[in-house]
Amino acid sequence: MQNLLNKQWHCLQVNEVLEQLKVKPDFGLEESEVLERQQAFGANRLSQKKGQSPFMLFLSQFNQPLIYLLLAATVITAFLQEWVDSSVIFGVVLVNAVIGFIQESKALKAIEALSKTMDTEATVIRAGYKQRIPASELVVGDIVVLQSGDKVPADMRLIRSRELQVAESALTGESVPVQKQIDSLLLDTVLADRKNMAYSSTLVTYGTATGVVVAIGDQTEIGRINELISAAEVLATPLTKKIEQFSKMLLWAILTIAMLTVGLGLFRGDPLLDIFMATVALAVASIPEGLPAAMTIMLAIGVSKMAARHAIIRKLPAVETLGSTSVICSDKTGTLTQNQMTVENILAGNKMLTVTGGGYAPSGEFLCDEKKFDPKTHETLMECLRAGLLCSDARLINTDEGWKIEGDPTEGALITSAAKAGLSIEALHESMPRIDSIPFESEHQYMATLHDMPQSSSRIIFLKGSVEQVLARCKDTLEDGNRTLELNTDEVHRHVVNMTAKGLRVLAFAKLEIPKTQEHISHEDVSGGLTFLGLQGMIDPLRPEVVASVCTCQKAGIRVKMITGDHIGTAVAIAEQLGLQTNGTKKVKALSGRELETLSDEELIEEAETTAVFARVAPEQKLRLVEALQTKNYVTAMTGDGVNDAPALRQSNIGIAMGITGTEVAKEAADMVLTDDNFSTIEAAVEEGRSVYDNLVKFITWTLPTNLGEALVILVAIFAGVGLPITPVQILWINMTTAIFLGLMLAFEQKEPRIMARLPRNPKEHVLTPKLIFRIFLVGIMLPIGAFGLYNWELSHGESEAAARAVAVNMFVFGELFYLFNCRSLTYSMFKMGVFSNGLLLLGVAGMILAQLLLTYAPFMNVAFGTAPLGLAEWALIVGASFVIYLIIELEKFIQRSLSTQRLKP
């Protein structure tokens, strides 16, 4: 069996292929042969790239510098038999690991679930019977029947074909469907020219065919490309790089200070246990334990918000990168447009009509000179619409998901326009049944159908095709009232020019009556003498929400570029509707793929920046465009759906795959998958990315003063030779409970005002600006002053050390609680954001207060954490000192806003 693999099937005759595969075309394989071949070749599936096992994924959560320190602290405290401290520290590490593991597992499962929704079925002939089976059950030698709309389920050698056309853009990048045939080809014929083969994951757009499966799974052409693309790498975004750098810097700083602390303790002759506990306290105080978990959860919340808006993020850090996107390179068809051809203009009887309504829904109106027009009053118009409906092989279907088309999208548009005029598809086919037809062929550029008219003494031929081919066959034109006049081709061409200038694809229609006795038609029958009926101009219309989304992106400083395989004229017309004009002019700058080929890398860098439309672009040219834009330091988002798009998706800062039309290879290479293939989803994801980044910065700005303050308290105590105001276990309590109850609630903060009116963030800029660093140090100094002051005040009034430490702990917690309201916006007051706009934050504050009351008054917590109950006087001091911190920071924000306003004034 294995000798059947890797053969060059395209150079063999049909009978040779069937003989080598041991199969009869009309009978197929017996079930016993199917089972034997399934065992030999396996299932028709692409091998999943081997990722980390769940256990290794869990262990990878511990691979962080700061976690190493906490693990070391766990071991040291356990060695010193400080079991409570050791358990709490390790518990914190474990919680971080579990949260990270759960969120990464969810991201992987989301992609797997999406992949399963893309499973297809195939029609096969087995043991002489035609049947539908899952495509995964196909074997080499299966006889497969293809028809319009089918996704090719495996690599096949065609053995019969009737006008088969296959869209191979997913594999070869060819934008136009390929006309197939069954004759053998030369051995050295390149993949894109193998017209007797149909390849897995390509799409049948027209005609029917029968083929024999010659390769499945990883042995298919798409499987081989899939193997060449390595497993998706862990993203190293600007934020994750900076956090990693910060962690390493903090690690060395903590180790250095810890060594100095040990040295000082030994020099002074302090007890070894005290030295180690002070060192552990300093290490634990300096580490923002909640930061890894909080970052993971906040990014995961962003992922959830994006998923609700039809964007699935494959890796959490990609959320942050979206916030700095400065260029979006979008495909046209299906992303900017509806991917549903729609007739917009009709010329009939010298009247130019507008048709309203988009997509395949048969609802809309006819307008003439912007006034409502009844199509049934214009016989020439109705005849033109009948021609479009009857001279078509597509079917209009009403599904639960809306109106859809089976067959060619262009024919779908013609059927829909006829239905809008009240023509019944079923009734017309019944009253004018088809007798014969001439299928569309690229060399003739037209299609013709012969219809009987039971109430007439003649039969009628309807012809549709390119304007040039139809006009060349017409002798006159039909005017209203069934009058015929001499055809003015110049006048028709003038209308065609106006229609194509609007990006419309124009088809012409004609008819010819023939004797009732004629049963068949040929090309000779339609070579002349026809009556011209009119023109129908159609376009794939813009999605209604896209214009506003593009405008929003432009206001946010994000350049939008259209990349399409369509004709340059159509692309420019769509771009003008989108507002992609260059530098405020009315002109859209566009380049074709052929022009791109002639540009050097240096020339392309300049053109890529200033050009808005790239038409007839091959997938490999997308990669050059991405690299050119990145050379200019643009953070680039690129859309793609084909196998050949994978390199560009991988190279771009944010690769965006289409969930509906995209191949599995494209999705694997992408950072984000759009489940609705809609450009507006990209804009929504960028907006969410900016919001997530804002909230992450708010959290970092909020949490670092705690660690700074705790470390200063410990350092002062060590160098002053006094007792520690807070112990290691109390520090962990502060860090973890405040992160969970308070800090994480910032993830649910509302978007900042005018978030999409800001320019994209420069990925090279630091996470923390000088203003925020000043604020962190300001709060980081105020917290230890308050904690140390109240700690010493308690001791000076004869209170126990446990009570004094309880005051210090509560000072840190309530200081952070009041500072949290400052951090709801780093620029504005919380009153501008809305006091009650973040209900979860208020719940978190309530939870934090309850937790502190439990820590302060519950006997078992007093024992575990070394605290004692407090009186009203202590609480008044704690809340008063915390409120002072809030007021000082609000004053600082007000001063910063005032200075910014003055700088903006001329």
**Per-residue confidence at 114, pLDDT binned at 50, 70, 90?**
very low
What integer is the mean pLDDT of 881-889? 96
What is the pLDDT at residue 232? Answer: 33
Strand partners, 560: 328
Q: Which two tokens stand for residue 83?
A: 């079991």
**Rounded to an integer, what distance in angstroms lies between the CA atom of residue 844 and that of residue 841?**
5
**Rounded to an integer, what distance in angstroms lies between the CA atom of residue 684 and that of residue 751?**
12
The verdict on whether 331 is a catalytic residue reads: yes
Calculate the average pLDDT of the chain: 84
Residue 844 or residue 250, greater confidence: 844
Q: Which two tokens stand for residue 321?
A: 């990168």
684 torsion bin: left (phi>0), alpha (psi -120 to 50), beta (else): alpha
163 torsion bin: left (phi>0), alpha (psi -120 to 50), beta (else): left
Query: What is the three-class DSSP state of 183?
Result: coil
For the cut 70, the answer to whether the pLDDT of residue 115 exceeds it is no
At 316-332, the pLDDT tens digits run: 667 778 888 999 998 88
What is the pLDDT at residue 759? Answer: 86
**Dihedral over alpha carbons 655, 660, 663, 666 (to 10 degrees):** 10
- Of 142, 331, 645, 671, the catalytic one is 331
**Per-residue confidence at 355, pLDDT binned at 50, 70, 90?**
very high
At 562-595, the pLDDT tens digits run: 988 777 888 888 898 888 876 666 788 999 888 8
DSSP assignment string, 293-352: HHHHHHHHHHHHHHHHTTEEESSTTHHHHHTT--EEEEESTTTTB-S--EEEEEEETTEE
Q: Kindly report the three-state secondary structure assignment for every residue of 256-271.
A: HHHHHHHHHHHHHCCC
For the cut 60, the answer to whether the pLDDT of residue 175 exceeds it is no
What is the pLDDT at residue 367? Answer: 95
What is the pLDDT at residue 843? Answer: 95
**Rounded to an integer, what distance in angstroms lies between the CA atom of residue 255 and that of residue 279?**
10
What integer is the mean pLDDT of 147-162? 89
What is the pLDDT at residue 173? Answer: 54
CA distances from 340 to 102, 238, 254, 359, 752 (A): 40, 39, 61, 5, 37
Q: Which two tokens stand for residue 659?
A: 């969930």
What is the pLDDT at residue 2? Answer: 52
**Rounded to an integer, what distance in angstroms lies between the CA atom of residue 657 and that of residue 668?**
9
DSSP conformation class of 188: T
CA distances from 761 to 548, 691, 710, 756 (A): 22, 12, 32, 11
**Per-residue confidence at 234, pLDDT binned at 50, 70, 90?**
very low
For the cut 50, the answer to whether the pLDDT of residue 354 exceeds it is yes
What is the pLDDT at residue 624? Answer: 87
Q: Give the burial class of 24: count Cβ atoms within 10 A of its Cβ; 0-12 exposed, 13-18 middle, 19 or more buried.
A: exposed
CB of 190 closer than 8 Å to CB of 11: no
CB of 115 closer than 8 Å to CB of 323: no
**Rounded to an integer, what distance in angstroms lies between the CA atom of residue 399 and that of residue 303?**
31
Look-up: residue for tokens 């068809």? Answer: 333
- Biggest CA-to-CA distance, the chain: 121
**Per-residue confidence at 887, pLDDT binned at 50, 70, 90?**
very high
What is the pLDDT at residue 338? Answer: 82
At 672-710, the pLDDT tens digits run: 888 888 888 888 888 888 888 888 889 889 988 988 888
Look at residues 544, 545, 541, 595 and name the one whose alpha carbon lies nearest to residue 573: 541
Distinct helix (H) and strand (E) counts, the chain = 30, 28
Per the document, the length of the chain is 906
For the cut 90, the answer to whether the pLDDT of residue 620 exceeds it is no
What integer is the mean pLDDT of 81-93? 70
User: CA gyration radius for the chain?
Assistant: 35
Which span out of 136-150, 440-454, 608-622 was modeled with the highest average pLDDT?
136-150
Q: Which residues of 138-173 are buried (b: 16+ CB within 10 A; e: fewer)?
A: bbbbbbbbbebbbbbbbbbbbbebebbbbbbbbbbb
What is the pLDDT at residue 151? Answer: 86
Residue 471 or residue 207, greater confidence: 471
Amino acid identity, position 663: T
**Per-residue confidence at 716, pLDDT binned at 50, 70, 90?**
confident
Percent of the chain exceeding pLDDT 70 equals: 88
Query: What is the three-class DSSP state of 509?
Result: strand
**Per-residue confidence at 3, pLDDT binned at 50, 70, 90?**
low
Q: Which residues of 662-683 are buried (b: 16+ CB within 10 A; e: fewer)?
A: bbbbbbbbbbbbbbbbbbbbbb
At 538-561, the pLDDT tens digits run: 998 888 889 999 999 999 999 999
Query: What is the three-class DSSP state of 133?
Result: strand
CB of 396 closer than 8 Å to CB of 415: yes
Query: What is the three-class DSSP state of 853?
Result: helix
Q: Which residues of 748-769 are buried (b: 16+ CB within 10 A; e: fewer)?
A: bbeebeebbeeebbebeeebbe
At 381-438, the pLDDT tens digits run: 999 999 999 999 888 888 887 888 877 888 999 999 999 999 988 899 899 999 999 9
Q: Which two tokens stand for residue 675?
A: 């489940």
Range 633-638 contact pairs with CB under 8 angstroms and sequence separation of 24 or more = 634/326, 634/327, 634/559, 634/609, 635/321, 635/324, 635/325, 635/326, 635/327, 635/760, 635/763, 636/325, 636/326, 636/327, 636/328, 636/329, 637/322, 637/325, 637/327, 637/328, 637/329, 637/682, 637/686, 638/329
**Rounded to an integer, what distance in angstroms lies between the CA atom of residue 867 and that of residue 707?**
20
**Rounded to an integer, what distance in angstroms lies between the CA atom of residue 126 and that of residue 33?**
10
What integer is the mean pLDDT of 707-728? 82
CA 109 remoteness from chain centre: 16
Q: Which two tokens stand for residue 475?
A: 């002798």
Strand partners, 337: 542
